[in-house]
Chain A
């Protein structure tokens, strides 16, 4: 405990603050925490006059950028330097969307392979429909696949039931002659999507899903180049082998395309006639591409229906109306709390308003992806409620400190002494109080998160709407330490150095 010894000695020598010295020696608190606090007191001892303006300006600047973001407009291109509140990604309760849980209808428990095959089918369909931002989880314990996706922005015609049916439909796999397609679209992964067979491709179906026995990704060492290559190995049923042999004999040098539903997933050339029912698809695949293609073909080879066990749909209009309402609620709540603080606490109230603004801005920044190290976060209605709640709870630190300062003034302390003592006496109460809220927020996040505390017991689930409530509550409380405690104290100390701010009345002391 060398550091503690040092700080106490240091204080004893400087003896600027008897209180600290006494508390240091007679304290019953643990040494590490004591050290932390003494160090804080030392740091806080002298705060220069400009500090108030520096802190206040930084908070204002931060608030402005956190709300409006920083963009550069260059012709039609907009470059985002810093993300603002407009970049917040909203959850399906605000944007509207679908959440559904599917279970493979295999009669008995599904294998992990089957689940993965089904999952890749659903992903393929989502990507092909240009739906980004989807979440998908498989739960091996309970044989569930959980999907959640928002509506495409700008889509007017939403039919949630049809969307769910399309996702859960039995995968239809076909091998067709040639590779003629009608339309090309761009999927959400940026790759072209070739849709709807036509001509010969439409008319000639060589094989169907039940002709395929297995499809597996394989690694192989190319004997010529020595490179490692990835490919997909297929095995056909007896009947399938015969049909495939006939087709490959006829189509050497031509293409046999593989289709899932209405979409072409591969268009390999036939190198030679394949008569033994085993073949490989090569094509400079990466390991991931090979396993993905194999999973898609497997999904078609194991055609089982997906039963929709749970689903929830929300229309975008309901969501956007809720968002506007909550926005109003936030503005009104913020204004009310600010007025209350100004009226009740005068100068410390003003400082509380600045700090509170910083705290709210921090909440926005933490969800919008303002900080490069924090990913943007999906916000839901309870998440917004969490921000508004932390507006009310956040001023607690300011209230505790300001009332403590007021008490000391009335007890006859000088202004500096009162601020010093008020700050010191209120710190641990605020600390303990905030820790309890942090515990609660952490539990909320752990329980309602995607992979959660009880995953082992109950299986994983989609992130509930409550997850973001836990997150905003957590950020609000951490922001409270930064703004409501540190920034507030810096500003109070600094401003009290100005002559105009020396009146005790401004701090709630007796009129003089």
Chain B
């Protein structure tokens, strides 16, 4: 049987460098583009109409701006495929700047003004949302709080389950791996210029669970191997053996999960399903980093911690003698 013999602990600096490098790239993007929050969180308004024929982007912008007295951005998306009848439709989305919500009357006025200018375009609302800034902010804090509570519960659970191999250190290393994954998912949103929305929270929480699942499988093997190899075994060898033994499983599971969500992503791109895209893409990234962080970050870090502890103990023993 094919077994891996990758020396993860020895190569740890390479992995740390890769992660830090990616984070640096993400940070640069973040500084340049900033972080976009969805109107779900900030408040604001967005309307998407379907229409037939051709319309002029600038003209639409002028009409809407003069009707609402608000600066707007107009995006035209032609020939959007529809999955049920295969007919392509044209969409125009209008996003209003500022965080104020739009009243129903204003929205009707926009539709009326557009219909007046283009009587044959048959504008119909595909989707629209208008969010009050106070409610958006509440929702945002609720989401952040949920991530905190989930992270806390997971750490308590892992510390409890892995008491025997140093629950605190195992938990702490798992947290670093989790922070790593959350950061990567966050940078995915930044780099692809997707506004942070409730999908972000769903992805982050799922990846927390998924990545921890990966880490647990490895810790479980470490726990088992500790018994097999005895207390004298070197931490580096112990952890490397455990990671290599579980590597097939980690890669296979990641492959299956990745394939499933990648199909969702491809389909959502084909049919222009925004809400699904902003869910699937970061989830794909999260699955890869979740697998990577458990293997290449959490394991080696755990060894470093344990070795540090051993050294301290030896020093203490030496000085007391």
Contact = CB atoms under 8 A, between A and B. Distances in A.
A337 B205 contact: no
A397 B205 CA distance: 21
A381 interface: yes
A461 interface: yes
A312 B127 CA distance: 7
Contacts of A28: 164
Contact of B263 (A388, A435, A452): A388
B198 A328 contact: no
Nearest to A23: B227
A313 B249 contact: no
Contact of A93 (B128, B249, B275): B275
A341 B280 CA distance: 23
A332 B263 contact: yes
Interface string A401-428: 0010011011000000000000001001
Given A309-B101, A325-B83, A385 B279 contact: yes
A466 B279 CA distance: 11
Interface string A457-468: 111010011100
B157 A436 contact: yes
A382 interface: yes
Contacts of B258: 392
Contact of B128 (A26, A160, A395, A464): A160
B265 to A, nearest CB: 9
Contact of A399 (B105, B143, B252, B263): B252
B261 A392 contact: yes
Interface in B40-57: 50
B202 interface: yes
Contact of A388 (B105, B199, B264, B271): B264
Contact of A473 (B206, B245, B275, B280): B206
B264 A429 contact: no
B150 A443 contact: yes
A392 B257 CA distance: 4
Interface in B113-144: 124-132, 135, 138-139, 141-143
A466 B260 contact: no
Interface residues of A, number: 85
A311 interface: yes
B253 A396 contact: yes
A311 B213 contact: no
A308 B104 contact: yes
A470 B138 CA distance: 20
Interface string B235-274: 0000000000100110011011111110110111011010
Interface string B169-209: 00000000000000000000000000000110110011011
Nearest to A309: B132
Nearest to A29: B164
B84 interface: yes
B256 A315 contact: no
A352 to B, nearest CB: 10
Interface string A304-318: 000011111111011
A325 B270 contact: yes
B104 A329 contact: no
A468 B111 CA distance: 33
B315 interface: no
A18 to B, nearest CB: 15
Contacts of A337: 256, 259-260
A318 B275 CA distance: 12
Contact of A389 (B158, B201, B283): B283
Contacts of A399: 249, 252-253, 256
A337 B201 CA distance: 26
A101 interface: yes
A26 B245 CA distance: 23
A313 B275 contact: no
Interface of A is mostly: helix
B204 to A, nearest CB: 10
Nearest to B221: A429
Nearest to A93: B275
B259 A340 contact: yes
B62 to A, nearest CB: 22
A443 B264 contact: no
A432 interface: yes
Nearest to A397: B253
Contacts of B273: 321-322, 325, 381
Contact of B130 (A310, A391, A433): A310
A447 interface: yes
A164 interface: yes
A79 B199 CA distance: 39
Interface string A20-63: 00000010100000000000000000000000000000000000
A429 B222 CA distance: 11
A312 B275 CA distance: 14
A323 B271 CA distance: 11
B168 interface: no
Given A385-B279, A392-B256, A396-B253, A311 B129 contact: yes
Given A389-B283, A392-B256, A392-B258, A435 B157 contact: yes
A432 B220 CA distance: 9
B210 interface: yes
Interface string A425-460: 100110011111101110110111000111001110
B209 A439 contact: yes
B213 A433 contact: yes
A325 B263 CA distance: 10
A111 to B, nearest CB: 20
B103 interface: yes
A400 B213 CA distance: 12
Interface string B287-310: 000000000000000000000000
Contacts of B132: 101, 309-310
Interface of B: 1, 50, 82-84, 101, 103-105, 107-108, 111, 124-132, 135, 138-139, 141-143, 145-146, 149-150, 153-154, 157-158, 161, 164, 198-199, 201-202, 205-206, 208-210, 212-214, 216-217, 220-221, 224, 227, 245, 248-249, 252-253, 255-261, 263-264, 266-268, 270-271, 273, 275-276, 279-280, 283
27 contacts: A26-B227, A161-B104, A309-B101, A310-B101, A310-B131, A311-B130, A317-B84, A318-B127, A321-B273, A329-B266, A333-B263, A340-B256, A340-B259, A388-B261, A391-B256, A392-B256, A392-B259, A393-B256, A399-B253, A436-B158, A436-B209, A437-B209, A443-B146, A444-B205, A454-B142, A457-B142, A465-B275
